[in-house]
Amino acid sequence: MAQALVEALAVVFPTWCAGCDEVDVSLCDACRAGLAAQPVRRHLGNALEVRSALRFEGVAARVLRALKEEGRTGLARPLGHAMAAAWVYDDAVAVPVPSSRASMRRRGFAATELLTKRAGLRTARLLVPARRAADQRGLSRTERMANMSGAFVARPAEGVRVVLIDDVVTTGATLLDARRALRDAGAIVLGAVTAMDTPRRRRTE
């Protein structure tokens, strides 16, 4: 009966694998295996260490796009599980980088905050957008840094040990400004964790 119900629902609400388009499954076994964490580390300017669970390519990139652009929020669970493998910090709280107001209106949810929750991390909403930044896509590294400069403010956090959380790191402009805001508020920023790292060959320098 359970199988019959699944088949009936598939007719009314068709679904497909976010990684490979196999029908009647939101994430097939092969693509789920492709989301097994393979943590990588990168140091941004001013010695901010970023630990990422996956590379932003192939199946992982398609699944993240399905989460963010198609609203397939169930995919946050396997992505969050992968992100948890990149968390190595004791006695620290996770601070998600907030989504822009435009993204929230378009999607109806904050992707990074959802990923943080699905990773099972203790969370503090300390960051607040200070102004509207332009879309980062298509900008050079220098343009991204200028675009994000002063983009965030933080609530008072004197002496609080925090780790920044974001979905993807490319040039690191967003994370660096978020760290600046948290430090200005008195927080101790230990590093950053992201679901994915954009491979170097794709970064816009």
Integer Cα distance of 189 and 64 in angstroms: 26
Find the largest Cα–Cα distance for the chain.
59
Q: What is the pLDDT of residues 46-62, one digit of tens each?
A: 789 999 999 999 999 99
Structure tokens of 99? 């989504």
Question: How confident is the model at residue 135, as a pLDDT?
Answer: 57
What does the DSSP 8-state code read for residue 123?
Answer: B
Arithmetic mean of pLDDT, 150-155:
84
pLDDT grade for 72, boundaries at 50, 70 and 90: very high
Integer Cα distance of 141 and 200 in angstroms: 12
Integer Cα distance of 195 and 164 in angstroms: 12
Integer Cα distance of 148 and 180 in angstroms: 11
Structure tokens of 174? 């967003």
Question: How confident is the model at residue 15, as a pLDDT?
Answer: 87
Structure tokens of 69? 């652009």
Question: How confident is the model at residue 126, as a pLDDT?
Answer: 97
The answer to whether 139 and 146 have CB atoms below 8 angstroms apart is no
Q: What is the pLDDT of residues 107-144, one digit of tens each?
A: 888 999 999 999 999 999 999 887 555 455 555 556 55
Which amino acid is present at 90? Answer: D
Indicate if the pLDDT at residue 202 is higher than 50.
Answer: no
Indicate if the pLDDT at residue 168 is higher than 90.
Answer: yes
Indicate if the pLDDT at residue 31 is higher than 90.
Answer: yes
Domains detected in the chain: 37-132+139-202 (3.40.50)
The answer to whether 108 and 163 have CB atoms below 8 angstroms apart is no
